Amino acid sequence: MTAIFPTEVFERIIDYVWPDQTRRTLMACMFVCRAWFPRARVNLIYEIILRHPRQLRLFAQLVGKRPALRPLIHILHIWPSRADDCKVMGTFPLMLAHHLPNLRSLSMRGLTTVRPIARYPQSHHLTFPILREFSFLTILMIGPVHFTSMTTFARLVGSFTSLTILVCQGITWGNAERSPSAYKPIARLKLRSISIGYMKWTEQLADMLLAIIDPTSLHTLNLRPNYQWYVEHAEGLLEAIGPSLQHLVIGEGATVEAKYSGSYLAYNTSITKLWMTSHPNYESEVATCNLLSRVHAPSLQELILSLSSVPYSLSDQFLSRPGLNPREIVFENMARFPRAYREASRLSSEVRDRLPQTYSRGVVRFENAPNRSWWEVA
């Protein structure tokens, strides 16, 4: 077959066969012929999933005996399958630190997305120093995982010196009270993007982030928890980020205390994209409008409103006031197939009826909710 078509054609096709949970397709491609073997092996080992200590030992032995495989590994997932297997989250650095020179992405998650059954194990005293060996790691995704303290979590994150993207989902800790001076990394992280979801946003969490990152390098802040939280708790972080912030996502559950009179985005004058999500109920839509009324973003290019209907308090004057006059307003339909097309038509009619001036300006666009993970900001 390879005599009929150039090998490059088959390699291009194999590149579209990405590893699934079983990896059977790529493994089958490896044994078709010698010409298919190299590219299929590269794609197969590009992303590795480790679920229990036995897999970790076998994988460490494999890369130890075959150094040629080490540069091919770019993504590592530590996903324990049982509570007793959570020890792999603490032991993998000791066994793999010098064997993964090109590791770019690391994810550690618990046994469920509902509650963090997985507990981060008691770490060896060399675990965090050895994590610095992953000098090319730029993406870290954690959760749901329970840490013994916020300091342990901070030490884990601060150990990856080249980190640029941090995603935290459903993380809890035993001792939430933490002083920002309890842990200070060797150098503050130059993070470009932080996503916090499905966890309680507190002032202690904001103080911890300020202690380990350089806020002036932050480009994207994604706050999409499903628990009620007050935006004021993030005010110190937003003020420290200042004009460096360009993309901001405020998710469902966010609210503002009635007595709060500040403008929590007054220092973030360079925001170009603001994305707000609300639940399909009256209280959530009112809270969304309350948040928008306090936004001051003169450089705003795109405002994305992910909702099921147009709130009654949203008006043409509201969307064209000083500080909130985006060049494009995107109404994102939250309904899924097969209701998506019907709900999109209804939402479009509501916008034309309730926001005639905004609609006539030609700045309104309608989209269906994209099929992507919550931390992905286009």
5 vs 82, more confident: 82
C-alpha span between 168 and 153 (Å, rounded): 11
Same domain, 91 and 10: no
C-alpha span between 220 and 32 (Å, rounded): 44
Same domain, 346 and 204: no
* Assigned domain for 89 exists: yes
What is the number of structural domains in the chain?
A: 3
* Assigned domain for 237 exists: no
Confidence check: pLDDT of 48 > 70: yes
Ranges 12-21, 38-47, 85-94, 100-109: which has the least confidence: 12-21
Same domain, 40 and 58: no
364 vs 338, more confident: 364
Note down the domain range covering 176. Answer: 51-218
Contact 163, 191 (CB under 8 A): yes
How much is the pLDDT for 213?
92
Contact 104, 139 (CB under 8 A): yes
* Assigned domain for 125 exists: yes
pLDDT, tens only, 60-112: 999 999 898 899 899 999 998 888 888 899 899 989 988 999 999 999 987 65
Contact 367, 328 (CB under 8 A): no
Same domain, 64 and 82: yes
How much is the pLDDT for 16?
76
Contacting residues for 225 by C-beta, under 8 A, at least 6 apart: 196, 197, 198, 199, 200, 201, 251, 252, 253, 254
C-alpha span between 60 and 92 (Å, rounded): 9
Res. 296 pLDDT band, cuts 50 70 90: confident
Same domain, 328 and 344: yes
Whole-angstrom Cα Rg for the chain: 24
Element at 40 (helix H, strand E): helix 37-46
Q: What is the mean pLDDT of the chain?
A: 81
Confidence check: pLDDT of 278 > 80: no
C-alpha span between 110 and 143 (Å, rounded): 6
How much is the pLDDT for 257?
55
Res. 338 pLDDT band, cuts 50 70 90: low
Amino acid type, 117: I
Res. 20 pLDDT band, cuts 50 70 90: low
Among 184, 218, 252, residue at a domain's last position: 218
Same domain, 60 and 36: no
